[in-house]
Amino acid sequence: EPEVTQTPSHQVTQMGQEVILRCVPISNHLYFYWYRQILGQKVEFLVSFYNNEISEKSEIFDDQFSVERPDGSNFTLKIRSTKLEDSAMYFCASSEGQATTNEKLFFGSGTQLSVL
Amino acid sequence: AQTVTQSQPEMSVQEAETVTLSCTYDTSESDYYLFWYKQPPSRQMILVIRQEAYKQQNATENRFSVNFQKAAKSFSLKISDSQLGDAAMYFCAYRSADSGKSTFGDGTTLTVKP
> Is B108's pLDDT higher than 70?
yes
Residue A13's nearest CA partner among A84, A64, A65, A62 is: A84
Mean predicted confidence (pLDDT) in A76-90: 96
B106 touches chain A (CB under 8 A): yes
* C-alpha distance from A42 to closest chain B C-alpha (Å): 5
Query: What integer best gives the mean pLDDT of chain A?
Result: 91
What local confidence, expressed as pLDDT, does residue A100 receive?
60
Mean predicted confidence (pLDDT) in A43-57: 93
Which of A4, A102, A103 should be substituted to probe chain B, the one whose Cβ sees the most B Cβ atoms within 10 Å? A102
DSSP A6-32: EE-SEEEE-TT--EEEEEE--TT--EE
> Is A1's pLDDT higher than 80?
no
B16 touches chain A (CB under 8 A): no
- DSSP 8-class letter at A86: G
Distance, CA of A4 to CA of A32 (rounded, Å): 10
Question: Cis before residue A8, ω within 30 degrees of 0?
Answer: yes
Residue in chain A nearest B108 by alpha carbon: A42
Distance, CA of B33 to CA of A101 (rounded, Å): 8
What local confidence, expressed as pLDDT, does residue B19 receive?
98
- Which residues of A fall within a CB distance of 8 Å from B99? 56, 99-100
Distance, CA of A4 to CA of A25 (rounded, Å): 5
Candidate from A5-19, A57-71, A102-116 with smallest mean pLDDT: A102-116
Residue in chain B nearest A32 by alpha carbon: B100
**In angstroms, how far is the first alpha carbon of chain B from the final one?**
41
**pLDDT above 90 coverage of chain A, percent:** 74
Candidate from A73-77, A91-95, A97-101, B100-104 with smallest mean pLDDT: A97-101
B81 class by beta-carbon count within 10 Å (0-12 exposed, 13-18 middle, 19+ buried): exposed
Distance, CA of A104 to CA of B61 (rounded, Å): 14
Distance, CA of A31 to CA of A55 (rounded, Å): 9
User: Cβ contact (<8 Å) for A105 and B105?
Assistant: no
Which of B38, B45, B47, B104 should be substituted to probe chain A, the one whose Cβ sees the most A Cβ atoms within 10 Å? B45
> Is A42's pLDDT higher than 80?
yes
Query: What integer best gives the mean pLDDT of chain B?
Result: 94
Size of interface A-B (CB pairs under 8 A): 60
Q: What SS3 state is found at B14?
A: strand
> Is A97's pLDDT higher than 80?
no
What local confidence, expressed as pLDDT, does residue A33 receive?
95
Mean predicted confidence (pLDDT) in A81-90: 96
Distance, CA of A8 to CA of A41 (rounded, Å): 22
Residues across chain A: 116
A99 — pLDDT class (breaks 50, 70, 90)? low
pLDDT digits (tens, 9 = 90+) for B3-47: 999 999 999 999 999 999 999 999 998 889 999 999 998 888 899
What local confidence, expressed as pLDDT, does residue A102 receive?
61
Distance, CA of B50 to CA of B73 (rounded, Å): 15
**In angstroms, how far is the first alpha carbon of chain A from the final one?**
36
Nearest residue, CB atoms, B45 vs list A44, A58, A107: A107
What local confidence, expressed as pLDDT, does residue A70 receive?
85
pLDDT digits (tens, 9 = 90+) for B66-76: 999 999 999 99
Q: Please count the other Cβ atoms lying within 10 Å of the Cβ belonging to residue B34.
A: 25
